[in-house]
Structure 1
Amino acid sequence: MCHLSRKAQPLFEEFAHDKNSNSSPVAFVQVDLNASYGAAAIGIEFGIRATPTFLFFVGGMKVYEIQGCDVQQLRMQLSMFLHPVHPHLSLSFPALDLLGLKSILFDKVPDLAAVSAKLRSFLDSATTWFQPFDTSLSKADTIGILFGTVIPYVEAFTTSRCLPPHPLFDLWHDATTSMSWNMPEDQLFPLVDLWRIALRNEKVSSWCADRNGLDSPPVLLLSKACERSSKKFLLTLLRMLSNALSNRALGWKILLSAHNNLAVLLEHTLVHEDTNVRKSASSLAFNAFGASARAQNRESMQGRRRRS
């Protein structure tokens, strides 16, 4: 066992003990990759490149990974799995009880012809185009996917027309990645608006929930935000993320894998000078709380059923 693995051992045991004392449904498993060929095969299967590596799974799906022994990051991530529902959630406030935790949605469909024209003008203005290693899409390829696959699907979804039986969502990811690499964030807002509408489709949001880290387009677009981001980009991003958090699997995935970026985004948009940005940020914060509370309540109920 390496030095960092020995350093992480007491922390791992501490949280495992905390889990047992609180009857949490979270399971802790430790694998020594040098113990056997089978253990080494597990490391290969999950792409372990350094030790220690901590993998987090929800419903059998990997949602987060930490390499090394960053104690603060580990405590933050593990606490999201282990902490019981906050006692304030058990208090009764009639006005809040009537409000409930139903997500705030942004369903208004934009003029898709105008969105297409804006995207086309931004793409045409790009004088150079870098081909990301994981997609290798040229600008012509990106334009072909965007206008031949993505926009027609969104148009069909918003007009209740027949949807393609096997949509090529992987191509959506590739086009989004290619554009995020090559276009400034203040030109990405029409693309983010397409995702805002597309995420109201169950197939799209479920596909995004199956992606990890920056392979999930909502998480990738969230990573582009900063304090200097344009108002248009922030508005569409906040509303897109609000819709994403309305989906149980995708919302929980974003809370687990992108909580730092989400917190930074809310930190500067909740006090933004523009009223609409502040309102949209408040909606996102409410949806984030609702997604977290629903997940924790569900885990608490599952734990009680196991004990009964």
Structure 2
Amino acid sequence: MDVELYVYDLSKGLARQYSLALTGVQIDAIYHTSLVFGGVEYFFGQGIQRKVPGTTHHGQPMEKLHMGKTELPNDVIQEYLDSLAKVYTPESYDLFLHNCNNFTHDLSMFLLGKGIPEHIRSLPQTFLSTPFGQMMKPQIEAALRGVTQADIGQDAQAPNARPGGSSTQHTAGNGTGSSSSGSHSSAPRAGYVRNVSNLQQLEEQLAAASNSCAVIFFTSSTCAPCKIVYPTYDELAEEAGDKAVLIKVDLNYAYDVSAKYGVRATPTFMTFLKGQKENEWSGANPAQLRGNVRMLIQMAFPPHPHTQLRLPSLQRKIISYVTYNKVPPLDKLKHKIGEHANDPTIQSVVEFAKSRGLSAPAETPIPNLDSLASFLQSTYPTVPIDIRFALVDLIRLAFLDPRVSGFFAQEPDHKTLLTLFSASDDLTSAPYNLRIVMLQLACNLFSSTLYPEQIISNQRLRETCIKLITGSLLDEHTNLRVVAASLAFNLAAFNHNERFDTRPDKLTESDQVELVASLLEAIGKEEECVEALHGMLFALGLFVYAAPMDGAVIDICKAMGIADTVKEKSKVEVLKGEPLLKEVGEVLLGKGLA
């Protein structure tokens, strides 16, 4: 099945015309992308959406790029899209950090083993690296939200879509999500003004903000001054997102509201913090309105002390995980595998690994993954432990392809992967070469957007990965410590990205404490490898940054005196050049724990 990338210019040519003069950087377009295959155009805006190619509200694309052919069956693709729908939700859309281009890149990696062009993916960072870009970010987000997240109406039907599956997407309008079954979601969509017409509706909205904050704008259709602040109020709702509920009440109709709150003049504003009335004022003053609403949100969500520090490595989302893609001599690897190298399933994986190295990943057909899963589950436990590393190393190469890792991420109970990790139950007795390739394979699970979530949600898989890390961070083999630190970084980065987006941590506090304790001990004992120290410090920094100040992660760092431990590393000749010693050691663990 052919896969095409449709590229649109949201600026309609204005970026090319004015970007150099305004930013000092030539920007050819503000890109919106979609993937087209099987007669459907897939893109991200108001969730994952599907349309007949070329009929979206973006008009005609400025460019169509042939990306390659996918051999994946459509039911597997639709299952993957169902999984992505949990990540690419309407609420998660961010014009600069989590947008349509991130979606098409992830989907392309799954379908073809390669992503969309780098100049498209890197455009947000290019723009935000300029002073003008930083200054104009809020205005541009507000201006383009209506374009990027427009409600496009009925989706196109995906080929072979399963009845009742998420191939028919939920759409949002007037604050209520409508599903194909006609049921309604009770959770209001963030980032817009809620118009209410009676007391019951108002109390429902206030109840929804009982753990955050809310603003009521008492207005009337005959109030001329009210119209002055309508645009400001709408902008503040967009800016607040899900941190505040902004409500508008027309007192010409909501008589029961007027009676309860005793409002006699419009415009009048009331603010509520954690369910309690906080302030009230009258008058059409946009500056006063902005100041009061922003102060209210800051009171509801006081900034974490770490946000006031200069921590450039941590005050951002982590967009790249550590993976291990070095290809060993495959003929030697086959020789080490022994008689099992003659099995057709293993031969197909070897040829797959060779082909990926010689041609574009998208043009490399994947082996029969069902057969591979069956072979590994039945045969791997019978392979002598001293040659198991060769099989695991071969599978490590296969998992670099998101089509392969994505397939196994959806395997019930992760039986195949846990079979490969079975020797990790006693890391101290497993051979060094087996331990290091298991760690590298675990890192390569992050080549698929599906696997990190599976690692967190599956207890056995999560415990195995943590055991791999904690059992290797103090090992005498330098390379083993480096790879263990890389896996710790990957888990920390996944957890950090959720926290950075103000969502709950993915890892439990007890899991974080176990990992942080191992990292603290390993950092204290590391004396010879700056690469291992870098990975340990980075992972530790990601766990500590914006962690609850009264939580167990911060407590254990204070109890173990980690700031002094890191400071001592600056005196070790081979380690003193590591830049994270200052950022994580002096700033985060020094000032940030005070």
Coarse TM-score class (shorter-chain normalised): 0.5 to 0.7
For CA contacts below 8 A with separation 6 or more, give which structure has more relative contact order. 1
**Conserved? CA contact 1:106–1:242, under 8 Å:** yes
- Which whole-Å CA distance do the structure 2 matches of 1:233 and 1:297 have between them? 35
For the pair 1:220 / 2:419, whether they are aligned, the reply is: yes
1:276 Cα deviation from its structure 2 partner? 0.8
1:167 Cα deviation from its structure 2 partner? 3.6
CA offsets per residue over residues 265-296 of structure 1, 9 Å max, x none?
21211111111111110011101111233355
CA offsets per residue over residues 163-183 of structure 1, 9 Å max, x none?
22x641011111111232211
Query: What residue in structure 2 maps to residue 207 of structure 1?
Result: 407
Query: What residue in structure 2 maps to residue 245 of structure 1?
Result: 446
Quick one: which amino acid aligns to residue 248 of structure 1?
A: T
Quick one: which amino acid aligns to residue 267 of structure 1?
A: T
SS in 2 for 1:96: coil
Alpha-carbon RMSD: 3.0
1:96 pairs, out of 294, 300, 313, with 313
- Which whole-Å CA distance do the structure 2 matches of 1:145 and 1:286 have between them? 33
Comparing 111-120 with 166-175, which one deviates more in the overlay?
166-175
SS in 1 for 2:314: helix
SS in 2 for 1:109: coil
- Which whole-Å CA distance do the structure 2 matches of 1:246 and 1:91 have between them? 33
Query: What residue in structure 2 maps to residue 282 of structure 1?
Result: 485
2:354 pairs, out of 155, 176, 179, with 155
- Which whole-Å CA distance do the structure 2 matches of 1:88 and 1:170 have between them? 50
Unpaired stretches in structure 2, ≥5 consecutive residues: 1-84, 87-164, 167-303, 505-594
1:299 Cα deviation from its structure 2 partner? 7.9
Against the structure 1 CA distance between its residues 248 and 183, is the aligned structure 2 distance closer, same or farther, given a 3 Å change threshold?
Answer: same
SS in 1 for 2:481: helix
1:16-55 map, 5 Å: none
Quick one: which amino acid aligns to residue 436 of structure 2?
A: L
CA offsets per residue over residues 186-219 of structure 1, 9 Å max, x none?
321111111211111121111011112233x333
Q: Higher helix share goes to which structure?
A: 1
For the pair 1:180 / 2:380, whether they are aligned, the reply is: yes
Query: What residue in structure 2 maps to residue 194 of structure 1?
Result: 394
**Conserved? CA contact 2:389–2:433, under 8 Å:** yes
Against the structure 1 CA distance between its residues 145 and 96, is the aligned structure 2 distance closer, same or farther, given a 3 Å change threshold?
Answer: same
Quick one: which amino acid aligns to residue 113 of structure 1?
A: D
**Conserved? CA contact 1:238–1:284, under 8 Å:** yes
Query: What residue in structure 1 maps to residue 76 of structure 2?
Result: none
For the pair 1:108 / 2:308, whether they are aligned, the reply is: no
Comparing 291-300 with 229-238, which one deviates more in the overlay?
291-300
Against the structure 1 CA distance between its residues 219 and 292, is the aligned structure 2 distance closer, same or farther, given a 3 Å change threshold?
Answer: farther
SS in 2 for 1:104: coil
Against the structure 1 CA distance between its residues 90 and 187, is the aligned structure 2 distance closer, same or farther, given a 3 Å change threshold?
Answer: farther
CA offsets per residue over residues 210-247 of structure 1, 9 Å max, x none?
112233x3333223212211100011111111111242
1:144 Cα deviation from its structure 2 partner? 2.4
Quick one: which amino acid aligns to residue 97 of structure 1?
A: L
For the pair 1:264 / 2:467, whether they are aligned, the reply is: yes
Quick one: which amino acid aligns to residue 421 of structure 2?
A: L
**Conserved? CA contact 1:270–1:278, under 8 Å:** yes
SS in 2 for 1:157: helix
- Which whole-Å CA distance do the structure 2 matches of 1:146 and 1:200 have between them? 16
- Which whole-Å CA distance do the structure 1 matches of 2:306 and 2:367 have between them? 40
1:100 Cα deviation from its structure 2 partner? 5.8
- Which whole-Å CA distance do the structure 2 matches of 1:296 and 1:99 have between them? 11
Quick one: which amino acid aligns to residue 438 of structure 2?
A: L
Against the structure 1 CA distance between its residues 250 and 184, is the aligned structure 2 distance closer, same or farther, given a 3 Å change threshold?
Answer: same
- Which whole-Å CA distance do the structure 1 matches of 2:370 and 2:305 have between them? 42
**Conserved? CA contact 1:196–1:239, under 8 Å:** yes
Against the structure 1 CA distance between its residues 172 and 298, is the aligned structure 2 distance closer, same or farther, given a 3 Å change threshold?
Answer: farther
Against the structure 1 CA distance between its residues 88 and 245, is the aligned structure 2 distance closer, same or farther, given a 3 Å change threshold?
Answer: farther
TM-score between both structures, scaled by the size of structure 1: 0.57
Unpaired stretches in structure 1, ≥5 consecutive residues: 1-57, 62-86, 125-139, 302-308
How high is the sequence identity, in percent, across the aligned residues?
21
